[in-house]
Amino acid sequence: MLGPQDLWIALALGVFFFGSKKLPELSRSVGQAMTEFRKGLAAGAPDEPGPLRGTNSVQEPTVPRETRGRENTPL
């Protein structure tokens, strides 16, 4: 978990690397990118049924051909 000291160090490094003028612009663009990403996830979710959506069946595991019929034979 991040503590207050860690956040201050991250802020100081951000100001050092990007400058105090560029930092608000950078954080604004990151926020806009996150918003667009969430909108894209919400828009794409109902259209594309995944393996867990829309199916209630369980797929049986496949058994290699060379072991079929020998599952219960003693070694």
What are the sequence ranges of the domains in the chain? 20-44
pTM of the model: 0.43
pLDDT in tens, 44-65: 765 555 555 555 556 666 766 6
Instruction: Report residue 21: phi and psi, to 5°.
Output: -80, -35
CA-closest candidate to residue 15, choices 25, 3, 30: 25
Token pair belonging to 37: 């990403």
Torsion of the alpha carbons at 35, 36, 37 and 43, rounded to the nearest 10 = 110
pLDDT in tens, 16-39: 888 888 888 988 999 999 999 999
Give CA–CA dist 14/27, Å, rounded.
10
Which position has the token pair 């019929």?
A: 69
